[in-house]
Amino acid sequence: MSQFFPEVKKIRYEGPDSKNPLAFKYYNPREKVGGKTLEEHLRFSVVFWHTFKGGGVDPFGTSPVYDRPWDRATDPMQRAEDTLRAAFEFITKLGAPFYAWHDRDIAPEADTLRETNKRLDQIVALAGKLQKDTGVKLLWGTSNCFSNARFTHGAGTNPDAHVFAYAAAQIKKAMECTLELKGENYVFWGGREGYSSLLNTDLKHEQEQMARLLQLAVEHKKAIGFKGTLLIEPKPKEPTKHQYDYDAATVLGFLRQHGLFDEFMLNLEANHATLAGHTFEHDLTVASAAGRLGSIDANRGDYLLGWDTDQFPTDLYSTTYAMMVILKQGGIGKGGVNFDAKVRRGSIDTADLFHAHIGGMDAFARGLKIAHRIQQDGVLDGFIKERYSSYRSGIGKKIMSGKTSFAELERYILKNGEPARHSGREEMLENLINTYI
């Protein structure tokens, strides 16, 4: 099967002392942490679009700079098959249990929807066979309703109902392909579901359109018997100036407003959170507090660049904080750690794809182990518990149980006077985290 990456053998765990760059130093899939193996905790997933379809393009260089051996055939369907085979070879050698795709990543679009769907069927059949042969599973499928020119003014939020219908037809098929491949989730990322100018936009109407699209997806999910989770992936901007799925809090409010709260979970991406002006752990915490954190897209941005750079995650603070939120809610469930990340434009070798994923997997394995130790020792949890202890008795208990009034609280202050002041101990806690890292 070694066709596209003949120079790379199966990536193995060799431990922290290994000097082999093509080996895991921290990700030992079978090692147990808190009763579960690392593989079960982290549920790593490789994305089809950046890893196998990415060309190293950026806003100032839109032609591909990589020369991939699976992308050379002249026939587009041959290229699609080669790419799929390369993907399964890569994922198997890496030892990631999952992958994820957009419909248009795996099969190229044809002139009509009917013809495009036929191509998808052909590729899905091959993907099913390769999944069976290798044991690699589909974490999620999704529909690319943002690249084609027809979606220039949005998909579900397009001012033209004809385009809405096209998006719906495309999503219908992508959901069916996801079901066929036993995908565990289905993702909605609102690529162009936003606006560029309010001068030509009926914002309220567009948001209602979006809710209709999601409602139709819920109905279709039930109609075809798809048991996976529907996930929404927030992003504040890019490609549109303002996207309606801005961040976790915005999406949660949107779902509540439109009666969709119980039907969707959130797939949160690190660099989308930072583009929204949040830390990754902020958005994770917001979703988790609402019981809606379903999966993560693992990557990072660059402090010095303003766009969605989708770099591989290597920052141990970020992976630790992320895993602290995930462990606290008892795991990522049917979701996973999906590397929605791409190698840099200058990283032109296929070996770079391995280095990038190995680094990301090791960074998350370390984050998991560190977060687990922090949780086991209970120091942080203990500190936070103590910080809110005044709400567990006396006037605090009355506040939280709805058994007081402004009048009573006024009497309380008139009688008890100024509150004592307490330090938040931020520096001490930061130092504490460093002792674990």
Residue ranges that bind ligand XUL, judged by CB under 6 A: 102, 142, 187, 189, 233, 235, 269, 297, 308, 340
263 binds, among ligand XUL, Co ion, none (CB under 5 to 8 A by kind): none
Q: In angstroms, give the least distance from the CB of 241 to ligand XUL.
A: 15
Q: In angstroms, give the least distance from the CB of 301 to Co ion.
A: 12
- Which C-beta is closer to ligand XUL: that of 176 or that of 370? 176
Tell me which of 50, 102, 278, 357 is the catalytic residue: 102
206 binds, among Co ion, ligand XUL, none (CB under 5 to 8 A by kind): none
235 binds, among ligand XUL, Co ion, none (CB under 5 to 8 A by kind): ligand XUL
- Which C-beta is closer to ligand XUL: that of 180 or that of 269? 269
Q: In angstroms, give the least distance from the CB of 189 to Co ion.
A: 6
Q: In angstroms, give the least distance from the CB of 32 to ligand XUL.
A: 30
- Which C-beta is closer to ligand XUL: that of 13 or that of 52? 52
**Of all residues in this chain, which one has the CB nearest to ligand XUL in the complex?**
189
- Which C-beta is closer to Co ion: that of 245 or that of 297? 297
187 binds, among ligand XUL, Co ion, none (CB under 5 to 8 A by kind): ligand XUL
Residue type, 362: D
Q: Is 263 in the site for Co ion (CB under 5 A)?
A: no
- Which C-beta is closer to ligand XUL: that of 29 or that of 294? 294
- Which C-beta is closer to ligand XUL: that of 320 or that of 338? 338
Q: Is 269 in the site for Co ion (CB under 5 A)?
A: yes
Question: What are the tokens at 213?
Answer: 């699209």
User: SS in 3 state form for the chain?
Assistant: CCCCCCCCCCCEECCCCCCCCCEECCCCCCCEECCEEHHHHHCEEEEHHHHHHCCCCECCECCCCCCCHHHCCCCHHHHHHHHHHHHHHHHHHHCCCEEEEEHHHHCCCCCCHHHHHHHHHHHHHHHHHHHHHHCCEEEEEECCCCCCHHHCCCCCCCCCHHHHHHHHHHHHHHHHHHHHCCCCEEEEECCCCEECCHHHCCHHHHHHHHHHHHHHHHHHHHHHCCCCEEEEECCCCCCCCEECCCCHHHHHHHHHHCCCHHHEEEEEEHHHHHHCCCCHHHHHHHHHHCCCEEEEECCECCCCCCCCCCECCCCHHHHHHHHHHHHHCCCCCCCCEEECCCCCCCCCCHHHHHHHHHHHHHHHHHHHHHHHHHHHHCHHHHHHHHHCHHHHCHHHHHHHCCCCCHHHHHHHHHHHCCCCCCCCCHHHHHHHHHHHC
Tell me which of 105, 283, 308, 362 is the catalytic residue: 105
Active site (annotated) includes residue 153: no
120 binds, among Co ion, ligand XUL, none (CB under 5 to 8 A by kind): none
Q: In angstroms, give the least distance from the CB of 281 to Co ion.
A: 17
- Which C-beta is closer to ligand XUL: that of 309 or that of 390? 309
Active site (annotated) includes residue 102: yes
Instruction: Note if the bond before 236 is cis, omega within 30 degrees.
Output: no
Q: Is 297 in the site for Co ion (CB under 5 A)?
A: yes
193 binds, among Co ion, ligand XUL, none (CB under 5 to 8 A by kind): none
Q: Mark residues 314-353: x for contact with Co ion by CB under 5 A, - for none.
A: --------------------------x-------------
Q: In angstroms, give the least distance from the CB of 190 to ligand XUL.
A: 9
Phi and psi, residue 135, nearest 5°: 85, 0
User: Parallel, antiparallel, or unpaired: how do β-strands 44-47 and 32-33 relate?
Assistant: unpaired
Q: Which residues bind Co ion (CB under 5 A)?
A: 269, 297, 340
Catalytic residues: 102, 105
